[in-house]
Amino acid sequence: MRYRTFPNLTRREWLQAMSAFSALASVVERGRAQETSIPVTPRSTARVCIFINMDGAPSHLDTFDVKDAEWNAPDVALEQHGPIVLSRTFFPQLSGFTSDLCLLRSVSSWEAEHTRGQFYLQTAHPANPAFLAETPHIGAVTALELARDARLPPFLTLNGRSGQGATFLGGRFEPLEAPANPGGFSTIQHNFYGNRSQTRFEEKYKMLRELEAPLLSAPFDPLVATQGAYYEAARQLMYDEAVANVFRFSNEDNERYGNTNFGRACIIARNAVRARSGVAYINIFNGGWDTHQSMFDTRYPNNFYTLCNILDSGVGPLIRDLTDSGHLSETLIVMMGEFGRTPGPLNTRGGRDHHRSAMSVAMLGGGVRGGRVIGATDANGERVIEPGWHKQRSIYPEDIVATIYSALGINWTKRITDTPTGRLFEYVPHASRGDYVPVQEVFG
């Protein structure tokens, strides 16, 4: 079965969505006067979040909540590292970092359908059609809060489309969807005019801005202002060797990270963190986890061995390199999908179907206290039996996002009241009344 990544819409649906967005998109720069919040104390332990979106919903029972049971792959090779159990076969590199790893096993999802589940994963909000144009990606919210006068945009997305973008927050906070290849961007330098190339570019861009100035100062459509801000952000990438170097890497690095698109995305994420380039949120897609059939059949293209090898080969060196350079302590890494998979034995097709009552999340770095497990599911991995945190209930996507915001120093209870339609936008729904909160136990 093919999985759907939000947004995966028909041409008619796209036209409707763009029409709605055109009507609702707001001005480029947002004021803070229309924001409200309640006093909280964020952890402020991380400068950057690398969010690895395991698109398609990975089986918790075969990744981060593995049981010693008859349904496992015959060569699973389970290893105990304190409270953490991982498969040495599937995660040989990640198994070497269990002292840094915190596994949340008491997580539940509100959704069991990919498109809606992905929307929740990317926004912490339900996929209500009436609110799509006023529900930004959590990376865009992070960009709004942590945008710095730096070389790269604060929201970077790699190895796929970002899904939900900045919506009404404006073009400045849209994700930079960057290529994951050794050459990086092929358009940030144009050397047609030799040594005068950059000068000619600046002259032409200045002329463009002068011509556009009346239109941008009083745009007939908010999207015009949004596009202007996005172009200005793009211009800042031009003819900057520091920016170009973020997207460059050696063949040796490429091989060490697994020689995959995902691995190359991890290299770029590493480079961006090390460069202290202004990036605050890095979204990396790691797809293919919709394993309804033939999970452990190596003849099947999308088998579990291949999926785990791609993830492990990219994440392992990423953790090692950030540790060696001293940046892991300020970089929060989160790995999760949109929901879990059916419990107990595999289905009749040798796979697992959709299951929202139990799933797992892996976190490390950025203030996370590793070597621990939070919560537990029953023997079949069907339901949460031990929450393991102070709320004494399942952890939901809203709580995970509140935890990310807290680590980044962002007040997760903020509400924006001056949206295009006047509807209230909450960073985390109902957080201002305490319904959803950071999982403080992650930090020890």
Residues 117-139: pLDDT tens digits?
Answer: 999 999 999 999 989 989 999 99
Question: Of 107, 4, 131, whose CA–CA distance to 397 is shortest?
Answer: 107
In the predicted structure, residue 20 carries a pLDDT above the cut 50: no
Question: Of 207, 195, 202, whose CA–CA distance to 238 is shortest?
Answer: 202
C-alpha span between 216 and 218 (Å, rounded): 5
Q: Is the link from the previous residue into 7 a cis peptide, with omega within 30 of 0?
A: yes
- For residue range 65-111, what is the model confidence (pLDDT) as tens digits? 999 999 999 999 999 999 999 999 999 999 999 999 999 999 999 99
Give mean pLDDT, residues 210-223. Answer: 76
In the predicted structure, residue 362 carries a pLDDT above the cut 80: yes
- β-partners of residue 359 are 107
C-alpha span between 285 and 50 (Å, rounded): 11
Structure tokens at 49: 């979040």
Phi, psi of 333 (to 5 degrees): -110, 125
Please report the pLDDT score of residue 214 as a whole number.
81
C-alpha span between 339 and 395 (Å, rounded): 12
Please report the pLDDT score of residue 229 as a whole number.
72
Phi, psi of 366 (to 5 degrees): 55, 40
Please report the pLDDT score of residue 16 as a whole number.
43
Structure tokens at 225: 């202002």
- Please report, in angstroms and rounded to a whole number, the separation of the first and last CA atoms in the chain: 40
Q: What percent of the chain has pLDDT over 90?
A: 69
Domain with CATH 3.40.720.10 in the chain: 11-184+243-443
C-alpha span between 23 and 20 (Å, rounded): 5
Q: How far is CA 218 from the centre of its chain?
A: 35
In the predicted structure, residue 213 carries a pLDDT above the cut 70: yes
CB atoms inside a 10 Å sphere around CB 322: 23
Q: What mean pLDDT is reported for the chain? A: 89
Q: How confident is the model at residue 186 (pLDDT cuts 50, 70, 90)?
A: low
Number of H helices, E strands in the chain: 10, 17
Find the length of the chain. 444
Contact 334, 49 (CB under 8 A): yes
Contact 61, 382 (CB under 8 A): no
CATH code for residues 11-184+243-443? 3.40.720.10
In the predicted structure, residue 22 carries a pLDDT above the cut 80: no
